[in-house]
Structure formats: C-alpha cells, structure tokens
Structure 1
Amino acid sequence: MASAAFEDIVEDFEFLEDWEDRYRYVIDYGKAMAAMDDALKVPSTKVHGCASQVWLHPTINQGIFSFDGDSDAMIVRGLVAVLRALYSGLPVAEVGLVDARAELARLGLNDHLSAQRSNGVRSMIDRIRLITAEAEKG
C-alpha cells in the first residue's frame, strides 16, 4: 500500500546493482526535495530519537496527509524524502495501515542502515503515525 512516488523509487532501486549506488540515490533524492522553511524548524516539529537533527511539519488538507521535512545530515534528509514519498498524498486513515518496515525492506534499507539511523527512521515513522492518529480522533 505505497504511493506511486514510492513505487517509482522501488523501480529505480531495481536497476541499481550495489548499495553504494542506492545510498547515492537516497542522498540525491533528499537533495532534490524542496527545502523546508527555517521558520518551521522549531521544537514542536523536531523528531526526537534521531542521531541527526530532523524536523517534520505535517499538513492535512481535506483528509489527505503530507509533510515537509529536513535534516542536517544528507543521508537522513534522503530518508525523510523517501518517507515523504511513502506517506504523502495518502488519506489520513490509511497512513497507519502502511507497513513502513516492509515497504522500506523492499529497498533493502533495513539491512544497510546503522542501528542509529534505523532508530531515527523508526522515530520518524512513529511521529507520522502519532500525528495521523491524533488527526483521526479529531
């Protein structure tokens, strides 16, 4: 249950033969993501549990979830962009149904991220789920 943008990433990864190429892809994907306004980088948007600084600013418009994000680390910014592709554009009610771990495993990310980076990704996913669960409650 992934977005079309995430499916495009999966297809691109199928053509990349080694992890270094995939790693570069994730970094470039993050570089291509629109910059998050510095005014949104406040304590309430900061994700705790990440080794790097990470900010996620959610938007829910007519029941559709999206978010802007940023990080001070290039690979983490790329991971933010990948999560953005996975979740943005989904109805709020569907966000919690996404098995992010399984979807990211399709990219091989679970096997190639350090424990700290994996914990950070998990923290970002937890924040996204919390935001959308609260939005569903009204």
Structure 2
Amino acid sequence: MPKWPDDDVILFDGVCIFCSRWVRFVAARDTARRFRFTPIQSDYGTRLAKAFGIDPDDPDTNALIHGGEAFLKSDAALTVLSHLPGWGWVRVLFAVSRPLRNAVYDLVARNRYRIFGKYDACFVPDSDLRARVLE
C-alpha cells in the first residue's frame, strides 16, 4: 500500500448518518485533538480513497491513516478507539480474527443506509469540528 503524507486522518462517508455519528463520537472523546476527518465526497477524501483502493462512489469502509499507512474496516475502527482516552481496552478485540471482525463490519456497512439513513448532502459539522475537517 502507498504511504500518505498526513497522519491520523479518518476517511468517512459524509452522507452516511451512522458514519457522521462515528465522527462526532470520536471528536467528542479525542481530548488531544489527534484525529482529523475527511468526507470521501470531498476532493481530499476522494484522492485519499483512490490512493488506497476505495471506490469513492460506493465506499464500503471507513479508513484511518495512521503512521502513514491505511487501516481499513475493523482495523481502522479499533485503532481509532484504542487511541481515545479510556478506550484502550478495545485492543483486546484485535485477538479476534480479522475475517470474523470484518464480517461483522461488512454486515453493518452493507446495511448502514437502510438502518441509519442517509443525508441528502454531506453533513456540516459545527465550527469546533469544522476546524478538524480536511477537504
């Protein structure tokens, strides 16, 4: 996989209500303001997605750029959570096999619009979160 120059960037589906809630969840707990966010629908997000083989028109995963490398699916979610204060315990979930973790991830990802809904356009974050969004 290629390297990416920016670090601790979370790529997410900006029209997915569940994904946007994930961003707000992370931002609210990320007291060190370590993570930045980019919707896949933005120019920056589209370039990032294409660099790591994610279809920007039909995203099936969020991604985390950490240490210059991309983490996808359950690896991305668990890596993000494990860096939030009080959430280090989730590292034990890495002991669960990746195929099993990703099967659960894929089930949610496939049904996220049907279960949680979809925005007509990318969600607009509040001003505090806006400062952490790369477009």
TM-score between both structures, scaled by the size of structure 1: 0.30
Between Structure 1 and Structure 2, the one with more helix by share is 1
